[in-house]
Amino acid sequence: MLILGIETATQQVSVAIGGHEGVLGMFEVSRGRRHAETLIPAVEFLCAQADVQIDEFGAIAVDIGPGLFTGMRVGLAAGKAMAQALRIPMIGISSLDLLAFPLRHADRTIAAVIDARKGELFYAFYKPVPGGVQRVTEPVVGRAADLAADLMARGQNVVCVGDGALRYREEIAGGAACDFAEQFLAHPSAAPLVQLAHARALREEWVNPWEIQPLYLRAPDAQINWSTRESAR
Amino acid sequence: MSGITVDDRTLVLGIETSCDETAAALVMGGYDIVSSAVSTQVDLHAEFGGVVPEIASRAHLDLLNPMIARAIVEAGVGEERIDAVACTVGPGLIGALLVGVSAAKALALTWGVPFVGVNHMEAHLYAAFLEDPTLEFPLVVLLVSGGHTMLIEMQDHGRYRLLGQTIDDAAGEAFDKVARFLGLGYPGGPAIDREALQGDPEAIAFPRAMLHDGLDFSFSGLKTSVMNHVRKHPDVSAADVAASFQAAVVDVLVAKARRAAEAVGARGLVLGGGVAANSLLRERFLSVCTEGGIRGFLPSREMCTDNAAMIAAAGWHRLRADGPTALDAGAYPNLRLPLLP
Ligand SMILES: [Zn+2]
């Protein structure tokens, strides 16, 4: 089965096509932050180059966050619309799982850390297991100091990965035993997304497009917008 | 995709997510509403007394797929009959717009049909055509909503001239703020409308700003005098304040609309936008049209408030005039109506 993977939860736009042969093609751009502009042309380009017709997809995988809300919704809205039109199921995978997965061969605990803006981070801990990683804590939102305290409490060497880890490197490392994964692993990518999704598809662990839910982890900021409001009745 | 024929059999799916209504509709040939599904989020925002952008965006993501499904099911046609997907690209709330735009472009790519980006204000101008395709140009449209108060001359499809607009608050914004001040709840338009039924519109002589002065509007002074009056007379009847305030807004709107229609020799005067659901405005609008011997057109309340049928209609006209919009289009929160110089 061919799977289209859509990843827009951080500043990167990433699209991949995968199946039982692994990742067949990928498009990724991490500059510009033009998620809505880039995503659909990227899908079109990738399908053309990989010689895949859109109706060949058997499932659509999306990053459900946590991440930047507006970007996340671009991928979710597009993925849900395509799945509904094609009448195929969806597979939602957390951005933190996608960050941790490429470090599955590490010999220690992994902290996946996404920059949540407003001085906060989304993070969770993982441990390597045969064939992948296993999440060992619930994803949370907190400050760099909270993560640093969590790391100290663990008292073991941890490898931190993600744009949040790199941005708050100093605060996180203060006193705790940790290393940092490289910049090229700092954003969740659609390549691990289609790999993880394929494994789930084999177990038929999927949902209908109207059932997929983003992982916001933060309540909406209840600031009212008077100026751009258009449709008062 | 270029070189497509756009005719009276062309079926357009419209999508609208610019503010607090999630909507999808199918319109054939630019005028014929085949189906129209609207889900309003008004209850989600009521406790905040205004639209909260992040709450709106989250709700659009949940509601859009069901609205699209409903529009297609109610139309009783197969998806393969859909010839184009039109969606509001602005103006509106950026996060809200992006949900619709992303879904619309994804559908267009999946079905292999053109995508058309639609200006929400232009779509409001087209709402009247959905109910009366015999309207003739030039038309004057009084567009009143929470974000806009404008008098537009429609010389032809796509040819618009701005005759007047608000220099401060939009009329709908004034309704919301006064309703909030009077503790009448949200949204302000219907709340004032209801309360005013019990009051005397002549009880308080609120100012009619710039009534005899050009075709522009100003509502911020009126809002201030309502607040001053209530502070000075704390035991005043809220119903009288609501009725007198509403009468002051409506007087100015209809007087200027009539004057604008006469100035350009319009063959029709059309009311549009969310505030056009107000009952006093509807009544007075029709009476000034009769007095002035102008052909007035009052769309139904469903067509005045945000809906996707008007998006599909405007999309059909844009597709015919300009062809498809490229798939790398984004959303434009401050998009303006394309005006003639
Ligand atoms: Zn509107």
For residue B327, tell me if it sits in a domain. no
Q: Are A207 and A84 in contact (CB under 8 A)?
A: no
Do B22 and B68 have their domain in common?
Answer: yes
Whether residue B62 is contained in a domain is answered as yes
Least confident among A26-35, B24-33, B316-325: A26-35
Q: Are residues B92 and B189 in the same domain?
A: no
Same-domain check for residues B169 and B288: yes
Q: Taking residues B266-292, what's their average pLDDT? A: 94
Q: Residue B162: give the domain boundaries.
A: 136-301
Q: What is the pLDDT of residue B49?
A: 81
Residue B338 lies in a domain: no
Using a CB-CB cut-off of 8 Å, the residues of chain A touching B190 are 233
Task: Report yes or no on B222 lying in a domain.
Answer: yes
Query: What pLDDT score was predicted for residue A222?
Result: 77
Count of A-B CB contacts under 8 Å? 179
Its sign, for the CA torsion A188, A189, A195, A198, is: positive
CB contact under 8 A, A44 and B109: yes
* pLDDT (0 to 100) of residue A233: 32
CA–CA separation, A14 vs A78, rounded Å?
A: 13
What residue ranges define each of the domains in chain A, with the CATH number in brackets?
Answer: 2-95+188-229 (3.30.420.40), 96-185 (3.30.420.40)
- pLDDT score of B264 more than 60: yes
Residues 6+ apart with CB under 8 A from A90: A59, A60, A61, A62, A79, A80, A83, A206, A207, A208, A209, A211, A212
Please give the residue of chain A at the shortest CA–CA distance from B96: A70
* Count of other CB atoms within 10 angstroms of residue A154: 17
**Residues B226 and B98 reside in one and the same domain:** no
Please name the residue of chain A whose CA is at the shortest distance from the CA of residue B92.
Answer: A228
> Are residues B315 and B283 part of one domain?
no
The residue-averaged pLDDT of B200-225 equals 92
Answer whether residue A26 shows pLDDT above 90. yes
> Which residue from B87, B68, B86 is spatially nearest to B28, judged by alpha carbons?
B86
Task: Say which CATH number the domain at B81 has.
Answer: 3.30.420.40
CA dihedral of residues B99, B105, B110, B112 (deg, nearest 10): 160
Per the domain annotation, does B40 fall within a domain?
Answer: yes
- Mark whether B109 and B177 lie in a shared domain: no
Task: List residues bridging with A208 in a β-sheet.
Answer: none
The widest CA-to-CA distance across chain B, in whole angstroms, is 67
pLDDT tens for each residue of B93-127: 999 999 999 999 999 999 999 999 999 999 999 99
Same domain, B99 and B171: no
Considering the domain architecture, whether residues B113 and B225 belong to the same structural domain is answered as: no
Amino acid at B167: I
Which among B51, B65, B109 is the nearest to A80, CB-wise?
B65
CB spacing of A82 vs B107 below 8 angstroms:
yes
> How many domains would you assign to chain B?
2
Contacting residues of A for B147, CB less than 8 Å apart: 227-232
Does position A124 have pLDDT exceeding 80, yes or no? yes
- Reported as a pLDDT band with limits 50, 70 and 90, residue A78 is very high
In degrees and rounded to multiples of 5, residue A43 shows phi and psi of -60, -45
Alpha carbon distance B246, B252 (integer Å)? 10
pLDDT bin (cut points 50, 70, 90) of residue B1 is: very low
What is the pLDDT confidence band of residue B3, given thresholds at 50, 70 and 90?
Answer: low
Across the interface, which of B20, B58, B109 has its CB nearest the CB of A43?
A: B109
Assess whether B141 and B286 both reside in one domain.
Answer: yes
**B297 and B311 belong to one structural domain:** no
* Predicted pLDDT at B213: 84
Q: Is residue B111 part of a domain?
A: yes
Distance of residue B284 Cα from the nearest chain A Cα, in angstroms: 17
Put simply, the answer to whether A232 touches B101 (Cβ < 8 Å) is no
Q: Per the domain annotation, does B339 fall within a domain?
A: no
My answer on whether B153 and B282 are in the same domain is: yes
Residue A229 has pLDDT above 50, yes or no: no
Ligand 1 center–CA B304 separation, angstroms:
8
- Same domain membership, residue B312 and residue B197: no
How many other C-beta atoms lie within 10 A of the C-beta of residue B335? 20
pLDDT band at A155 (very low <50, low <70, confident <90, very high): confident
Residue A139 reports pLDDT greater than 70: yes
Centre of ligand 1 from the C-alpha of residue A233, in Å: 9
Nearest alpha carbon to residue B240 among B186, B202, B280, B183? B202
Asked if residue A144 has pLDDT above 80, the reply is: yes
Note every long-range contact of B38-43, with CB atoms under 8 Å and residues 24 or more positions apart, other chains counting. Answer: B38/B67, B38/B302, B38/B305, B38/B306, B38/B307, B38/B308, B39/B63, B39/B66, B39/B67, B42/B186, B42/B187
Is pLDDT at A93 greater than 90 in this prediction?
Answer: yes
